[in-house]
Amino acid sequence: MSDESPAAADGMLVDQRGLTSRSHRGAASSPAVVATSTVLRQLYSLVQRYFPQILVAGIALSILFVYTTGGLTLMGEQIKNALVLGAIYALVAIGYTMVYGIIELINFAHGDVFALSSFYALIIATSFGGFVNSLATGSGIGLLVALVILFVTTMAAAGFTGMAIERVAYRRLRDAPRLAPLITAIGVSFLLEGFMLVKFGADNVPTKNDLWITGTALTLGKVSIAWTDLFVFATAVALMFTLGAFVRITTLGKAMRATAQDRNASLLCGINVNRTISATFFIGSALAAAGGIVYSLNYHSIQWSLGYRLGIIAFTAAVLGGIGNIVGAGIGGFVIGIIYVFGGQLAGGEWSDSLIFAILVIILTFRPTGLFGVDVTTRA
């Protein structure tokens, strides 16, 4: 009688009967578990489909609640504050979304460029014996000239700072695994924060522009709207529409859109991709500088750590609007401003930041594309 195993008889090292697939013998899911899972999937699908409507309804209910508890005056004041704060968030969020749209990088140093630009504006306004500052407080024409000088020089300085960051820190990592430029962006953020801490100190720094734009522009009921409020809002809206027209009409704007769509095809078409990306960093950083200027004119105080917190909130605004979409980022900035102000009014000011981060988690869970954006789950 032969002792040969079936595997040896067939010339195989392993008995194939042990490699055959076996049916799963786990316990079958109970009807209650199946029903609960089905309900949860349907609920997720409904929230995902009607996320914009749910968001608008939540904002409307929060505004209505503030009206019923605090009256029309409180509601008007909070709407004013939300639009002013949202305008600043929008200017910073557009820089985030521009960079991501071109090279698919979340530039976490962008918020610190915003804070550094505020210090640029302070240095320019107080240099040369405070020439710009004295010019702004002298007359209406002097104020206009001072604002032009401040915006042009500060936005240029911030733009070149953004270009330098891209050239030194990001360009060589453009084709590296995505984790490398992301960690580099965080490192650049810490580097800028450390520089501002050493250079300007840990305390709040007064901007010394309290007397630049003063007075009340108009009064709606018992709600007073200052000239600074109108200036911040008008500046943000004007820059947003100007940027939209620039990207849509100009040759450089078309090159940006082509590079965002397909970098290799853009190279084949003769587009200088490096120059286009540098221009994108310049424009995005310049918009952050505009946000820094209007922030300092409205709040009259800046700090070295300002960019970290405000940058994350502006990033949430960019994700909400649809990161990669300029108009969406602008709208997202205003929506986040409303959520921040009215959420703080309802839950308490200490919960405002937590509410924004909760909104970020909800967006990434139910609507990762944002309100107007592309499918970031396939791009990132």
Any domain includes 192: yes
- What does the pLDDT read at residue 6? 52
| Model pLDDT for residues 128-183, shown as the tens digit of each residue | 777 888 888 877 888 899 999 999 999 999 999 999 999 998 888 887 888 888 89
Q: What are phi and psi of 17, to 5 degrees?
A: -65, -25
Whether pTM exceeds 0.85: no
In a domain, 245, yes or no: yes
For 310-328, how does the pLDDT look when each residue is reduced to its tens digit (9 = 90+)?
Answer: 888 988 888 888 877 888 8
For the stretch 257-282, pLDDT in tens is 888 888 888 888 888 888 999 999 99
Are 302 and 204 in contact, with CB atoms under 8 Å apart? yes
Residue 116 domain flag: yes
Rg for the chain, CA atoms, rounded: 27
pLDDT tens digits, 44-60 = 888 888 888 888 888 89
Does residue 20 fall inside a structural domain? no
Between 210 and 185, residue with greater pLDDT = 185
Query: Band of the pLDDT at 378, cuts 50, 70, 90?
Result: very low
Domain membership of residue 35 (yes or no) is: no
N-to-C CA span, the chain: 65
What is the tally of structural domains in the chain? 1
CATH number where 256 lies: 1.10.3470
Q: Please tell me the distance from the alpha carbon of residue 117 to that of residue 91, in angstroms, as a whole number.
A: 13
Angle between helices 273-299 and 51-103 (to 10 degrees): 130
What are the contacts of 232-236 at 24+ separation with CB within 8 A? 232/84, 232/87, 232/88, 232/294, 232/297, 232/298, 233/83, 233/84, 233/87, 235/87, 235/290, 235/294, 236/87, 236/88, 236/90, 236/91, 236/290, 236/291, 236/294, 236/330, 236/333
- Residue 203 sits in which domain range? 54-379
